[in-house]
Amino acid sequence: MEIESLYLKFKESNGVSTDTRKLHKNCIYFAIKGDNFDGNKFVTQALKGGAKYCVVDDKKALLNKDCILVDDVLTTLQSLATYHRNRIDIPVIALTGSNGKTTTKELIYSVLSSQYKVKATIGNLNNHIGVPLTLLRFTKDLDYGIVEMGANHKKEIEFLSNLAQPDYGLITNFGKAHLEGFGGIEGVIKGKSELYNYIKVNGKIAFINNNDAKQVKQISKYENIVTFGSNTKNDCNIEFMSANPHVTLNYDNTIINSQLIGDYNYGNIAVAVAIGKYFKVSTNNIKKAIESYQPNNNRSEIIETQTTQIILDAYNANPTSMMAALKNLKQLSSKNKYLFIGDMFELGDEAKKEHQSITDFIEANFNKNIYLIGENFFKTRTKKTTHKFSSFEDLKPELKTLKIKDAILLIKGSRGMALERIVDLIN
Chain-centre distance for alpha carbon 325: 16
Task: Measure the CA–CA gap between 170 and 227, rounded to whole angstroms.
Answer: 11
373 contacts 391 by C-beta, under 8 angstroms: yes
CATH of span 301-426: 3.90.190.20
Q: DSSP alpha helices (H): ranges in 311-374?
A: 319-331, 351-365
Task: Measure the CA–CA gap between 28 and 67, rounded to whole angstroms.
Answer: 10
Half-sphere exposure of 308 (CA within 13 A, CB side): 20
pLDDT higher than 70, residue 427: no
Query: How many other CB atoms are there within 10 angstroms of residue 85's CB atom?
Result: 22
Q: How many residues does the chain have?
A: 427
Task: Measure the CA–CA gap between 338 and 368, rounded to whole angstroms.
Answer: 8
Q: At a CB cut-off of 8 Å and minimum separation 6, what does 180 contact?
A: 152, 346, 347, 348, 349, 350
Task: Measure the CA–CA gap between 244 and 339, rounded to whole angstroms.
Answer: 18
Identity (one letter) of the amino acid at 203? G
Domain topology for 89-292: UDP-N-acetylmuramoyl-L-alanine:D-glutamate ligase (3.40.1190)
Handedness of CA 39, 45, 50, 55 (dihedral sign): positive
CA neighbor of 147 nearest in space, from 180, 170, 173: 170
Rg (CA), the chain: 23
Per-residue confidence (pLDDT) for residue 179, from 0 to 100: 81
Angle between helices 73-88 and 3-11 (to 10 degrees): 70
Task: Measure the CA–CA gap between 32 and 41, rounded to whole angstroms.
Answer: 10
Given the candidates 1.10.645.10, 3.40.190.10, 3.40.1390.10, 3.50.50.60, the CATH classification of the domain at 3-77 is 3.40.1390.10
Prediction pTM value: 0.90
- Residues 18-33 pLDDT 10s: 999 989 899 999 999 9
Q: At a CB cut-off of 8 Å and minimum separation 6, what does 242 contact?
A: 248
Per-residue confidence (pLDDT) for residue 334, from 0 to 100: 79
pLDDT higher than 90, residue 95: yes
To the nearest 10°, report the CA torsion of 424, 99, 150, 125: 40
Query: How many other CB atoms are there within 10 angstroms of residue 291's CB atom?
Result: 15
Q: Give the confidence band of 49 by pLDDT, cuts at 50, 70, 90.
A: very high
Q: At a CB cut-off of 8 Å and minimum separation 6, what does 37 contact?
A: none
Task: Measure the CA–CA gap between 410 and 426, rounded to whole angstroms.
Answer: 13
Task: Measure the CA–CA gap between 6 and 28, rounded to whole angstroms.
Answer: 10
Query: Where do the structural domains in the chain lie, given as residue ranges?
Result: 3-77, 89-292, 301-426
pLDDT higher than 70, residue 115: yes
95 contacts 146 by C-beta, under 8 angstroms: yes
Q: At a CB cut-off of 8 Å and minimum separation 6, what does 115 contact?
A: 279, 280, 281, 282, 285
Task: Measure the CA–CA gap between 378 and 372, rounded to whole angstroms.
Answer: 7
Averaged pLDDT, 325-336: 88
- Residues 165-217 pLDDT 10s: 999 999 999 888 888 888 888 888 999 999 999 999 998 999 999 988 888 88
- Residues 236-291 pLDDT 10s: 999 999 987 899 999 999 999 999 988 889 999 999 999 999 999 999 999 999 99
